[in-house]
Amino acid sequence: MGECEEDQELRERLKIGPQANVDYPINVLYCGNCKMPIEYCEFWPGYEKCKQWLEKFYPEEFSKLTLRENAAMEAERSAESSREKSESPDKKDKRRQRRGGKGQKKEDSFKEKRISVMIAPRSRRKVETVISGLEDFGIDLKVAVKVFGTKYACGSSITDENEISIQGNVKADVIEFIAHKWPELKDVIDDNGDYRNTFNI
Ligand SMILES: [Zn+2]
């Protein structure tokens, strides 16, 4: 039986050592804001700051990124317009209302927001737990920082708009703690993992 194309492709990917179609050495550009390879910045809660950093220090990369983002947006727009064409006018109206936000009820917008808790590298040895999204739920970050500071004797600080960092790995504990302290947030907290093990920094 002959090998199918998929198998060949998989074997190629699993091969150890240099690959034929890659230029070596591979230069990885690490973001000065989130410390991850720039390909991963978009998954970072403070993505806007990553972009600012990139624009300042690597304008060429930044313009490439902008081009890619615009292309993706354009693709989405055209997919959407072809979808709209095939829909009844009634449906269209409904969707526009949802998008526009003005016709939106408060409960709806509440549902879409989430709180993210994750472990992030702080330096080669240390990590921090990053919580973002609290402000969207009407929680004063200054109050939250005090609450976390009391609970965790180590440093807790506001590190970005809508973002708090606590020194050390307290992710599992803080998720429980937030749910206990603000019970209404129990179902909107996302455990967004641990970024230490994914990247060698
Ligand atoms: Zn970044």
> How many whole angstroms from 195 Cα to the centroid of ligand 1?
12
> Which whole number is the average pLDDT over 103-108?
46
> Which whole number is the average pLDDT over 62-69?
87
Q: Which residues contact 109 (CB under 8 A, 6 or more apart)?
A: 101
Neighbours of 189 (CB within 10 A): 20
- Torsion angles phi and psi, residue 84, rounded to 5: -65, -35
> How many whole angstroms from 201 Cα to the centroid of ligand 1?
13
Whether 121 and 73 map to the same domain: the answer is: no
10 part of a folded domain: no
| Residue 97, pLDDT above cutoff 70 | no
106 part of a folded domain: no
> How many whole angstroms from 26 Cα to the centroid of ligand 1?
19
Q: Any idea what the Cα angle at residue 148 is, between residues 143 and 152, rounded to 5°? A: 155
Confidence of residue 10 (pLDDT cuts 50, 70, 90): confident
> How many whole angstroms from 34 Cα to the centroid of ligand 1?
4
Count, residues in the chain:
201
Q: Which of 42-56, 153-167, 187-201 has the lowest mean pLDDT?
A: 187-201
**Alpha helices of the chain — where are they, by DSSP H?**
5-14, 47-57, 59-85, 89-100, 106-112, 141-151, 171-181
Q: Higher confidence at residue 71 or residue 16?
A: 71
- Torsion angles phi and psi, residue 17, rounded to 5: 105, 180
pLDDT for residue 87: 63
pLDDT for residue 198: 52
Burial 170-185 (b: 16+ CB within 10 A, else e): bbeebbeebbeebeeb
Indicate which CATH number applies to the domain containing 174. Answer: 3.30.780.10
5 part of a folded domain: no
The model carries a pTM of 0.44
pLDDT for residue 134: 93
Whether 71 and 123 map to the same domain: the answer is: no
Closest by CA to 27, choosing from 37, 19, 36, is: 37
38 part of a folded domain: yes
> How many whole angstroms from 139 Cα to the centroid of ligand 1?
26
9 part of a folded domain: no
The parent domain of residue 59 ranges over 23-77
> How many whole angstroms from 32 Cα to the centroid of ligand 1?
7
